[in-house]
Amino acid sequence: MAHKRNTGFKLRFPEFILIGLLLFSSISLGFSSGSFILNLKEFGFGIVSSVEKGFSYLTSSIGDTIHSVKELKELKKDYNDLIVRLENYEELQRSNAEIRKENERLKEQLDFAISLDEKNIPAQIISRDLDSVYSYITINKGTKNGIKKNMPVIAFQNGNNGLVGKVVQVGAFTSQIIPIYNINNIVSCRVLNTRDLGLVSGKGSDDKPLTLKHIRKSVVDQLKYGDIIVTSGENDNYMKDIPIGTISKITSLEYETSLTIELTPIIDFSRLENVVVINQKELNDRKQDK
């Protein structure tokens, strides 16, 4: 029986001792010559340098980022400040425009009041009852300003003067007006062109048309849309020929002896702010002083 030949390499103890001595001698020689230490220093310096370079780059990047964030905050603050200043400027411009418009309105009212033959008291509307069928308007002038009950009230709006109503109640500093759209306010009137006599009444709301009655059917062909209806001047309730409204609809019913006509008021009551109360018993002294 043949024996299996062992071909593996085995390090024997004497050879292990020899290799160990050679390795130790080489390391000792390296330390004694300084080359090993130098290489170790160079290796360590390379590592430290790389770390320092990376740390420097990281620090610089963080610094730049912080600076950029700071600049961004400052820019945002400047932007917000500019927005606020712009809004303030626009608000100032709007205020100036509103003041100019208000001055123009007041000047028109003053010029209109001065142009009247009768003594008059300009006033401002301070409240109005819009929810009731029996609507009323309150102004900021009363007996202390010379206002009396039953004085007619007119207004100047968009280049036109028109009838507002009449005073029905007076306090020391305020007065109450019954407007022409109140269902209890009936005004004697005439068609300006034909001079036909009729009566105007309201429907209780400023956004509804007025009603003109008692105009004869025989004059229907003489009427047209847009014709102006004015006060008749009868019964001393109102001055003569104050515009009330314009014809917007004409209805002729078989069972009626007169026409039923709808009017659009001359005055836009939803935008009315200032009125003029008229004292028909006295002359306007301001007209002479103009």
Residue 214 vs residues 2, 119, 179, 188, 224: alpha-carbon distances, Å: 152, 33, 21, 10, 16
Write down the pLDDT at residue 75: 80
Helix axes 13-33, 35-115, angle to 10 degrees: 60
Q: For the stretch 164-184, what's the b/e string if a residue is b when 16 or more beta carbons lie within 10 angstroms of its beta carbon?
A: bbbbbebeeebbbbbbbbbee
Higher pLDDT pick, 116 / 268:
268
**pLDDT in the model for residue 72:** 78
Tokens of 218: 């025989």
User: Cβ distance 126 to 273 under 8 Å?
Assistant: no
**pLDDT surpassing 70 at residue 66:** yes
With a cut of 60, say whether residue 52 has pLDDT above it.
no
pLDDT tens track for 130-181 = 666 668 999 999 999 999 999 999 999 888 899 999 999 999 999 999 999 9
pTM listed for this prediction? 0.63
Count Cα neighbours of 213 within 13 Å in the Cβ-side half-sphere: 8
pLDDT tens digit string along 86-142?
777 777 666 666 667 666 666 666 677 777 777 889 999 999 886 666 689 999 999
pLDDT band at residue 1 using 50, 70 and 90 as cut-offs? very low
Residues with Cβ within 8 Å of 105's Cβ and at least 6 positions away in sequence, in order, are 273, 274
In terms of average pLDDT, the best of 16-20, 116-120, 166-170, 204-208 is 166-170
Q: How far is CA 46 from CA 36, 39, 53, 58, 60, in A?
A: 15, 11, 10, 18, 21
